[in-house]
Amino acid sequence: MTTEDPERQDIHDYLADLEDIPGTRVYTAKRARQGYQLNQFAMSLMKPENRERWKADEHAYLDEWKLTDDQKQALLARDYNRLLDLGGNIYFLAKVFSTDGLSFVQAVSTMTGMSVADYQAMMVAGGRSADGLRSIRANALAAAAKETH
């Protein structure tokens, strides 16, 4: 395992690294601010009476929240990757897919471009390897090196 000086972490390097992971949206302060209303909306579905109102009329329920049009569209479409891009956090978005009666496996698989069955088979076979998925920068360097050969 790698180690580093724990004394001081440069915040700019730290935040840049968080954006360097393929296929991943780390829930940074920037996303938390962008998605504040979106995540609080999702949180409201913790209450049974709100779940009933949401299920009865999604558009009307959404209009009670200060969401952007993009966020509303992505919610109606249950486009979870888009919702992550718009500041959603998976534990908050879980209130939306739980209300739909979906498990984590079912909802998570929709973000991977795989069917639920294929995704589950991948998990049973040991999951997705980190190889080639550790760093966007490292992948770009490797690709560039290959081209020069």
Partner 1 sequence: MARITAGVGCSHVPALGVAVDLGKTGEDYWKPIFDGFEWTKAWEQEARPDVVILVYNDHASAFDMKLIPTFAIGCGEAYAPADEGWGPRKVPVVEGHPDLAWHIAQSLILDEFDMTIINEMDVDHGLTVPLSMMFGQPEAWPCKVIPLAVNVVTYPPPTGNRCWALGEAIGRAVASFPEDLNVQIWGTGGMSHQLQGPRAGLINAAWDGRFLDGLVGDSDALRRIPHIEYLRETGSEGIEMVMWLIMRGALGKATRMLHRHYHVPASNTAVGHIVLEPT
Question: Residue numbers of the site for partner 1 (CB under 8 A)?
Answer: 1-4, 6, 9, 14, 17-18, 21-29, 32, 36, 39-40, 42-43, 45-46, 48, 51, 80-81, 84, 89-92, 94-95, 98-99, 103-105, 108-109, 111-113, 119, 122-124, 126-130, 133-135
Between 73 and 112, name the residue whose CB sits nearer to partner 1.
112
d(CA 68, CA 13): 30
CB of 149 to partner 1, least distance (A): 26
Q: Are 71 and 38 in contact (CB under 8 A)?
A: yes
d(CA 84, CA 27): 9
Between 66 and 134, name the residue whose CB sits nearer to partner 1.
134
| Six token digits for residue 126 | 């040991």
d(CA 131, CA 12): 26
Between 62 and 90, name the residue whose CB sits nearer to partner 1.
90
CB of 144 to partner 1, least distance (A): 20
Between 33 and 149, name the residue whose CB sits nearer to partner 1.
33
Sequence-distant (6+) residues with CB within 8 A of 118 are: 109
